[in-house]
Amino acid sequence: MRLVIASGKGGVGKSMLASALAMLFAEDKKVVAVDCDADAPNLAIWLGGVKKWDKTILVSTSAKPEFDFKKCNGCSLCVKNCRFEALQLAQGKPKLNPFLCEGCGACEVICPLKVIKLKPVQNGEIKIKKTKYNFPLVSGQLYPGESGSGKVVTEIKKEAEKFAHEVMIIDSAPGTGCPVIASLQGANFAILITEPTPSGFSDLKRVLEVVNHFKVPYRIVVNKWDINKNLSQKIEKWAGRKFLGKISFDKEIFKAIANLKPILETNLKAKREIKEIFNKLAT
């Protein structure tokens, strides 16, 4: 089973919940935990931190154009056909802004004089660690300034599939764009976590549109439910039978994670609430 934790809004507790669920499932099942937030991967921290990774695999899922200017007559077709505004004409020749380049190759195919060739770039890495909780963690990192976040996520998932497992826990990026789409592809189940704020609720509805598009069955968890009990109740009612559970707000969680203490190794109320959520999920 591939279980995705998604949220739309950032900082609502995806990685906290994902880490705890991975640890709970691992008590009697083969688990692989996957951090698919390649932009800002934090799942390792919620699992107590990783000092040294067992394995690092370099990823090259992006490419950038290189120009053979001797052949270029400055026709500017490449500039006009770049949908990402990554090419500009400077002194009669195309000039690349690498940070806007998506590596799509439209410039390469439009150039009538074959001036442009796309060269692969290393845009990220995959990192693997056998955790002390008896399951592997597969994480990754998109390099700052590189493109292809979604494609890095797809590579991370491929690597994770190589581990024999019954449950794959996928911690998704926030938002609704390419890394989230890549996380949700092929998922069997999703837990959508939110907080009772106007932002949290609005973003939940937006990510739900993507989840429904992929027809992934889902349940909803409200984190920090007691910071706005009215709105929390409203979300619970709105979720109906999709409602899975709620977790209390506690400043102490902040302090626990500052000491790299996984939530399940504390005695906080949130730990009991997450266990309840797990028990409901398991049935």
Partner 1 sequence: MKKIVITGGKGGVGKSTVAILFADKLVRENKKVILCDCDVECPNDYLLLGQKLAKPIEKVFAEFPKLIKKKCKKCGLCAKTCRSNAIFQAPGKYPVFIKDLCSACGACWIVCPYGAIGPQKEETGQIFTNRVKNNFWLVTGMAKPGLEETGPVVTEVKKFALKFAEKNKVNVTLFDTAPGIHCPVVSALLNCDLAYCVTEPTPMGAYDLNLILDLCQKLKVPAKVILNQADLGDKRKIEKIAKKFKTKVEKEIPYSRKLVEAYSKGKLLNFRL
Query: Minimum CB separation from partner 1 for residue 27, in Å?
Result: 25
Residues with Cβ within 8 Å of residue 191, at least 6 apart in sequence: 3, 4, 5, 6, 17, 21, 218, 219, 220, 221, 244, 281
The minimum distance between CB 187 and partner 1, in angstroms, equals: 13
Distance CA 80, CA 273 (A): 56
Find out whether 240 and 217 touch, Cβ atoms under 8 Å: no
- What residues does 192 pair with on adjacent strands? 6, 220
Measured from the CB atom, is 231 or 281 closer to partner 1?
231
Is the distance from CB of 33 to CB of 27 less than 8 angstroms? no
Comparison of 108 and 276: residue with beta carbon closer to partner 1? 108
Nearer CB in complex with partner 1: 75/110: 110
Q: Which residues bind partner 1 (CB under 8 A)?
A: 8-12, 15, 37, 39-42, 45-46, 49, 63, 81, 83-85, 97, 99-100, 102-106, 108-110, 118, 142, 144-145, 147, 149-151, 173-179, 181, 185, 195-199, 202-203, 206-207, 209-210, 213-214, 227-228, 231, 249, 251, 254-255, 257-258, 260
Whichever of 145 and 240 has its CB closer to partner 1, that residue is 145
Residue nearer to partner 1 on the CB measure, 97 or 279: 97
Residue 95: CB minimum distance to partner 1, A: 15
Query: How far apart are the C-alpha atoms of 53 and 233, rounded to whole Å?
Result: 42
10 Å Cβ neighbour count for 48?
17
CA–CA separation, 164 vs 170, rounded Å? 15
Q: Which residues contact 80 (CB under 8 A, 6 or more apart)?
A: none
Q: How far is the CB of 161 from partner 1 (least distance, A)?
A: 17
Closest separation in Å from C-beta 142 to partner 1: 6
Minimum CB separation of residue 231 from partner 1 in Å reads 7
**Closer to partner 1 at the Cβ: 167 or 270?**
270
Q: Element (H or E) spanning 219, and its range? A: strand 218-222
